[in-house]
Amino acid sequence: MTDLAFLSISDGARLLHTKKLSPVEWTTALLDRITAYDSNYNAFLLVSAEQAIAQAKAAEAELAKGQSRGPMHGVPYAAKDNFNAKGAPTTCHSKFLRENLVHEDAFAVRKLRDAGAVLLGKLALHEFATGGPAFDLPWPPARNPWDRDLHPGGSSSGSGVAVAAGMVPAALGTDTVGSIRNPATCCGIVGMKPTYGAVSLGGVFPLSQSLDHVGPLTRSVEDNAIVFQAIAGHDPHDPTSARRDVPDCLSELRKGLKGLRIGVIEHFYTEDAQAHPEQVRGIERALDVMQRLGAEIDHVRLSPLPIWAECNRAIQRAESYTIHEKRLQQRPEDFAAVTRARFLAGAFITASSYIKAQKLRDALCWEYADATRSLDAVVTLSGFQLPCRIDDHSELARTYDQQCRLVFNVTGTPAISVPTGFSSDGIPLGMQIAGRAFAEPMVYRIAQAFADTCDFVDRRPPLSRRTPVA
Amino acid sequence: MGDESGVSNEIRVIAELQGLDKALMLFSGQVAAAAEIALKLLGASSQDLATDGWPVAVFDPARYDRADHWWCGAGIICYSGR
């Protein structure tokens, strides 16, 4: 019997199109699973069961008549609650937007609606997609399915949890400083931050417009490529949207690594910062595997990580402040403390610093382009530490920003987080594979080749149903 | 110089100019910490970035796929140790 909780999109689509599975059956099974487990993991802010069943029935009727809208037709998914979905509030997990009912879909949500996908609900995030886990908001923070005492990464925390816990096969997330790849790493799944402009930002509540990206979180690389292809494409209403055809990420997915040149950016996690030894061992094992598969591994040096971090943070905090200025002036007490601390910094970034940060970004982008011109991709760590307890504020403050995901928000180039195994305590480990601008097909190809060698990808988190007494 | 909340006069003036009086009153420590973080950003790394050229290009990641570029060989900035 098929385990619908962990059914992949690629297998599910085959079953749906051959009428061996009904979209209603799949949707109902996942809604039941959400009901059974989510009170313990808090992935969902809103479950739209009735609308989901209606969408699933519509997909079933079309598929029964042989009318296929493609591989997402009848496939359940969920969206981070900073994506607009018509008829539902977009809360951004914030007190400010509790009643923010919207009447139009975000571009990515509309693309998935047009593709016949079934939206199960809206997912938890760090407030306004920044900060960290917070207990002073209207909803509790999402928890790590591998150990609910640990944080699940963020800011697309609910997206990571829902996918890893088998509540949905795919979720949408946003990524400004690493917010798709962080929960992907912490929850042991696959998270793609595509090229800036490849997926429209239309209808997504912004954090920092020049660094924001939209992308999918899934359990497999192939599923991720399927969702990416479904949501990519030009949006005439989004000035940042690229005028490019959607790339074919599937036809060369299994071409392997033979003859590819892959750079490893090691100094980020061995010199610029000291990563946890188990994370380092994870990426070292992965590099050995890639070499055995026929890739040539070269070492790449870029500017030290703190330069990239300062560039990203100066831009992000200045742009975020312009979005939240009035809220900070009038109702600063209504932010979570961790969100307020981040946004307030933007008040003290001068126009000169912001422009210099953008000029620095330009130089860093050239540097990255030069360093990767003769390479097919680069590999580096994602997070440097293992997730700590979700309520350990000092450890969160110490470890949460120890990462090199933000580098690829600065360059705007595609970067995917893939699992590299588990720590000795059973906590997921991860790394990034990053490419040149609009080279998503190559990034997916390398990720797929590595994933095909991993025997841990079928490991499932040990979910519990009972909510422990706090 | 600062007041008993630990917020320096300089930071208080900037915060008040930004209309953050309420945040200063309720969360003075957080305002001071945020200012300290922000004012340190780009301190050392911005020395060579002041020019009278066009301040910022519209961000387009594909632009960097070209081999020729404005700063190549000019020695303006390159942190790479390659």
Cβ-Cβ contacts under 8 Å, A339 against chain B: none
Note the pLDDT of residue B63: 76
Which chain B positions have a beta carbon within 8 Å of A213's beta carbon?
A: none
The boundaries of the domain holding residue A288 are: 4-307+351-451
Hey, are the CB atoms on A367 and B46 less than 8 Å from each other? no
Predicted confidence at residue B65, as pLDDT, reads 72
**Residue positions counted in chain A:** 470
Q: Is the Cβ pair B51, A359 closer than 8 Å?
A: yes
- Other CB atoms within 10 Å distance of the CB of residue A469: 4
Instruction: State the pLDDT confidence band at B80, using cuts at 50, 70 and 90.
Output: very low
Summarised one tens digit per residue, pLDDT across range B7-56 is 899 999 999 999 999 999 999 999 999 998 888 877 656 656 666 666 56
- How many domains are there within chain A? 1
**Exposed / middle / buried, residue A23 (Cβ in 10 Å: 0-12, 13-18, 19+):** buried
| A260 three-state secondary structure | coil
Greatest alpha-carbon span in chain B: 56
Instruction: Please tell me the predicted confidence (pLDDT) of residue B53.
Output: 61
pTM across the whole model: 0.93
Q: What is the CATH number of the domain that holds A423?
A: 3.90.1300.10
In a domain, A327, yes or no: no
Is 60 exceeded by the pLDDT of residue B68?
no
Domain edges within chain B:
9-40
Is position A332 within any domain? no
**Domain-located, residue A312:** no
Q: Would A19 be classed as within a structural domain? A: yes
pLDDT of B73 reads: 37
Instruction: Specify which residues B2 forms β-bridges with.
Output: B8
Alpha carbon A99 to its chain's center: 25
Could A301 and B51 be called an inter-chain contact, meaning their C-beta atoms sit closer than 8 Å?
Answer: no
Residue A70 lies in a domain: yes
**What confidence score (pLDDT) does residue B59 get?**
73
Give the residue among A56, A54, A106, A57 at the shortest CA–CA distance from A76.
A56
Nearest-CB residue to A438 (from B20, B27, B62)? B62
Where is pLDDT greater, at A32 or B61? A32
Q: What is the 3-state secondary structure (H, E, C) of A403-460?
A: ECCCHHHHHCCCEEEEEEEECCCCCEEEEEEECCCCCHHHHHHHHHHHHCCCCCCCCC
Q: For residue A288, what pLDDT is reported?
A: 98
Query: Could you tell me which of A6, A34, A47 has the C-alpha nearest to residue A166?
Result: A6
Low-confidence ranges of chain A (pLDDT < 70): 1, 466-470
**How big is the CA angle at A450 (ends A115 and A172), to the nearest 5 degrees?**
30
Residues 5-64 of B with CB under 8 A from A: 11, 14-15, 18-20, 22-23, 26-27, 30-31, 33-35, 37-39, 41-42, 45-46, 49-51, 55-57, 59-64
Catalytic residue set of A: 80, 155, 179
Tell me the pLDDT band of B64, cut-offs 50, 70 and 90.
confident
Using CA atoms, how far apart are residues A383 and A431, in angstroms rounded to an integer?
8
Structure tokens at A451: 């994933």
* Cβ A226 vs Cβ A9: under 8 Å: yes
Q: What is the pLDDT of residue A30?
A: 98
